[in-house]
Amino acid sequence: MNLSKDLMAASSTPLVLGVIAEGETYGYEIVKRVEELSGGELQWTDGMLYPLLHRLEKQGFLISRWHVGDSNRKRKYYAITEEGRKTLCEQQQQWQIINQALNKIWRDMQRSDNNDVQFA
Amino acid sequence: MMSSSPNHFDLEQSIAQWRQFVLRRSAILNDDADELESHLRDQIDALLTQGLHADEAFLIATKRIGNIEAVSQQFAEVHTGRLWRNLVLSQPHSNWLNDVLVALCFAIAAALLFQIPRLFGFNPEQHEWVYARNISLFCLPLLAGYWVVQRQLGTRAWWLILGTVALFAVTMNAYPWQPISDTGDLAVLHLPIILWFLVGIMYTGNWWQTDARRMDFIRFSGEYAIYFVLIAIGGAVLTAMTIGLFSFIGFDIEIFAQQWLIPSGAMGAVVIVGWLVEAKKGTVENMAPVLARIFTPLFTLLLVSFLAVLLISGRAFDMQREVLIGLDAMLIIVLGLVLYAVSSREPTQAPSLFDTLQLLLVLAALCVDVVALSAMSDRIFAMGITPNRLAALGENLILLVSLSGYVWYYWGLIRANHAGFAKLERWQTRMVPVYVVWAAVVVLLLPILFSFA
């Protein structure tokens, strides 16, 4: 499914922070993890992840280091900072509010649909 | 199933070419290219293990990275400072000629504007004060206008410029200044600050909305100052040569040069320098950061030794007027130095020795400011308040707040690693309007308060 651009932009920060909060990781792994989490529905343009990572680092939510991993490839690893965790927590609360509100609406809509059928 | 086809695909070479292509964007540095390349290689490896051919894997992997132009634009938004340091402008500069023509038009307009008071019977010889009070109104609004055109800001911007100019033109010319007027001199000194901020609002192109653009304007201002001095020196040499050459063949054009060539040339230069700084910002290593690095240690040394002498000799509290003026001038230069040093710093860099030095400079400046403040309040208590003293007092208080903030955030930066830099940046850009508001108070209210004395 193609998500709208705005929704992608809004959700990318908590997703990236959330994935990195699971443990220090690098760009390619983040993309794979997000794909896995969304059952393959969320497909980013991979390149766009990096400016976002740099922005979050600049804001102090992440710190990075270069590290040669097991496959002998030099990669830039990102870890979350205390401030990053705080932001993630705030974002989580905000998304939960939206999530709850939307869930109620979906439920109400379904109920009224069912009623319509009964009256008919 | 032999895969060695005649047009054998060289994966390494293709990746190298792709990397070259990525690095051509000025917002993408070597490190970023490394990062993108390692991503590309991971992706290719994954596709190869799925059984794809190297050329197919490469194609799909590059496709998934996406449009490099768009990625580089995102990078440029995150790291706005980078465009100033890089070798190539990413956009093909097809509208170069157009820029020059627009700049020339505004420069000529500024040059002509300076001569307009002549139509009303004023000239720089006899009516120095008319020119002194209006000189920044002749040129800076036109530089602001140049940016309105360049950034396509539309009518709202023109009204803002017109309104500001009208307000200050009335203030400067209709206030009943006394013949020898301190408040008048103060207004002349402070008006350029307000007008320069007007230039800044237009320069940012987004009405001073984002920290990144504000920092760009601070960089612009630093380069501007240096370029203006260089061009002024060039202009002085040119004028001297012109006068000299004509005097050889028996023409005395000194009056012409003094009344027309020099002032109108200077007014035009105000606009031209603005264009020049922006046009070359991507091409050469900038001067202001280099100078800031050279002079930060020297100014620190100067301030620290000055403080030491002051304290040892015990003369801190009976400083005379000239000393205080000198101190204030120096504090302003130090503030400028700090502004440029902050704006030229690579944001993600870990704190270095230079940052510690910077903290030391700001601390020393803060101490000098406190000493100056105490001396000044002594003078005010002993001899009463005058326009100059009030203006200086306000300025020193603002410096106290501003410098304290710098100390606080530099300390945070050095202690908490690079996470603190965004806060320092924010503090820096938030303080700029405060300086401007104070300048407006000095220009607009102080004269009324002291009945134009």
Instruction: Name which of B213, B203, B215 is nearest B345 in CA terms.
Output: B215
pLDDT at B3 over 50: no
- The domain tally of chain B equals 3
pLDDT at A119 over 70: no
Of the three residues B261, B280, B299, the one that is the final residue of a domain is B280
- Inter-residue contact B446 to B387 (CB < 8 Å): yes
Q: Which of A97-106, B123-132, B368-377, B381-390 has the highest mean pLDDT?
A: A97-106
Q: Does the CB of B146 have a partner CB in chain A at under 8 Å?
A: no
Q: Does the CB of B348 have a partner CB in chain A at under 8 Å?
A: yes
Of the three residues B48, B78, B108, the one that is the final residue of a domain is B78
Q: Which domain holds residue B36?
A: 11-78
CA–CA separation, B446 and B453 (whole Å): 10
Query: Average pLDDT, whole number, for chain A?
Result: 88
pLDDT at B86 over 70: no
Q: Does the CB of B77 have a partner CB in chain A at under 8 Å?
A: yes
Q: Do A73 and B417 touch (CB under 8 A)?
A: no
Q: pLDDT at position B283, please?
A: 53
Q: pLDDT at position A116, please?
A: 63
Give the confidence band of A1 by pLDDT, cuts at 50, 70, 90: low
**Pick from A47, A60, A63: which is nearest to B36 by CB?**
A47
Chain B 379-438, CB below 8 Å of chain A: which residues?
417-422
Q: What per-residue string of b and e applies to B306-336 under the rule 16 or more CB within 10 Å gives b?
A: bbeebeeeeebeebeeeebeebbebbeebbb
Per mean pLDDT, which range of B117-131, B140-154, B402-416 is the poorest?
A: B117-131
- Do residues B166 and B195 share a domain? yes
- Do residues B258 and B299 share a domain? no
Q: Which domain holds residue A93?
A: 5-119
Amino acid at B79: H
Run of H or E residues at B411:
helix B387-415
Residue B344 vs residue B240, higher pLDDT? B240
Amino acid at B164: T
- The domain tally of chain A equals 1
The pLDDT of A97-104, averaged and rounded, is: 94
pLDDT at A79 over 90: yes
**Pick from A26, A52, A81: which is nearest to B419 by CB?**
A81
Q: pLDDT at position B419, please?
A: 65
Q: pLDDT at position A5, please?
A: 80
Q: pLDDT at position B430, please?
A: 93
pLDDT at B316 over 80: no
Residue B63 vs residue A114, higher pLDDT? B63
Q: What per-residue string of b and e applies to B251-276 under the rule 16 or more CB within 10 Å gives b?
A: eeeeeebeebbebbbbbbbbbbbbbb
Q: Does the CB of B349 have a partner CB in chain A at under 8 Å?
A: no
Instruction: Name which of B116, B164, B174 is nearest B140 in CA terms.
Output: B164
Nearest-CA distance B209 → chain A (Å): 17
Give CA separation, B27 vs B70, B71, B168, B295, B306, in Å.
Answer: 11, 9, 40, 28, 43
Q: Do B43 and A54 touch (CB under 8 A)?
A: no
pLDDT at B83 over 70: no
- Do residues B352 and B394 share a domain? yes
- Inter-residue contact A61 to A21 (CB < 8 Å): no
Query: Which strand ranges, in their side-by-side order, compose the sheet holding A25-26?
Result: A25-26, A74-80, A62-68
Give the confidence band of B267 by pLDDT, cuts at 50, 70, 90: very high
Q: pLDDT at position B307, please?
A: 87
**Pick from B66, B347, B417: which is nearest to A47 by CB?**
B66
- Do residues B51 and B134 share a domain? no
- Inter-residue contact A11 to B31 (CB < 8 Å): no
Residue B416 vs residue B383, higher pLDDT? B383
Q: pLDDT at position B88, please?
A: 38
The pLDDT of B280-293, averaged and rounded, is: 70
Q: The CATH number of the domain where A87 resides is what? A: 1.10.10.10
Chain B 33-72, CB below 8 Å of chain A: which residues?
34-36, 38-39, 41-43, 64-68, 70-71
The residue to which tokens 């293709």 are assigned? B14
In a mutational test of the A interface, the residue from B35, B37, B62, B424 whose CB has the highest number of chain A CBs within 10 Å is B35
Q: Is the ipTM of this complex over 0.95?
A: no
User: How large a percentage of chain B has pLDDT more than 70?
Assistant: 92
Nearest-CA distance B416 → chain A (Å): 10
CA–CA separation, B183 and B453 (whole Å): 6
- Do residues B272 and B341 share a domain? no
User: How large a percentage of chain B has pLDDT more than 90?
Assistant: 45
Q: pLDDT at position B53, please?
A: 92
Q: pLDDT at position B90, please?
A: 43
The pLDDT of A41-66, averaged and rounded, is: 89
Of the three residues B280, B306, B330, the one that is the final residue of a domain is B280
- Do residues B323 and B445 share a domain? yes
- Do residues B356 and B435 share a domain? yes
Give the confidence band of B317 by pLDDT, cuts at 50, 70, 90: low
Nearest-CA distance B35 → chain A (Å): 6
Task: Express each pLDDT in B88-137 by its tens digit.
Answer: 344 445 567 788 889 999 999 999 998 888 888 888 778 888 888 999 99
The DSSP symbol for B91 reads S
The pLDDT of B408-429, averaged and rounded, is: 83
How many other CB atoms are found less than 10 A from the CB of residue B97?
9
- Determine, yes or no, domain membership for B83: no
Q: pLDDT at position B68, please?
A: 87
The pLDDT of B369-389, averaged and rounded, is: 88
- Do residues B434 and B295 share a domain? yes
Residue A101 vs residue A73, higher pLDDT? A101
Q: What is the pTM of this model?
A: 0.70
Give the confidence band of B145 by pLDDT, cuts at 50, 70, 90: very high
DSSP string, B330-370: HHHHHHHHHHHHHHTS-TTSPP-HHHHHHHHHHHHHHHHHH
Q: Do A59 and B422 touch (CB under 8 A)?
A: yes
Enumerate residues 6+ apart whose C-beta is below 8 A from B198. B140, B141, B144, B160, B161, B164
Beta bridge partners of A76: A66
- Do residues B275 and B294 share a domain? no
- Do residues B115 and B15 share a domain? no
- Determine, yes or no, domain membership for B87: no
Nearest-CA distance B39 → chain A (Å): 5
CA–CA separation, B91 and B69 (whole Å): 10
Q: Do A46 and B418 touch (CB under 8 A)?
A: no
Nearest-CA distance A46 → chain B (Å): 5
- Do residues B163 and B224 share a domain? yes
- Do residues B309 and B252 share a domain? no
The residue to which tokens 């990397």 are assigned? B19
Q: pLDDT at position B92, please?
A: 46
Q: pLDDT at position B157, please?
A: 93
| CA-atom Rg of chain A in angstroms | 19
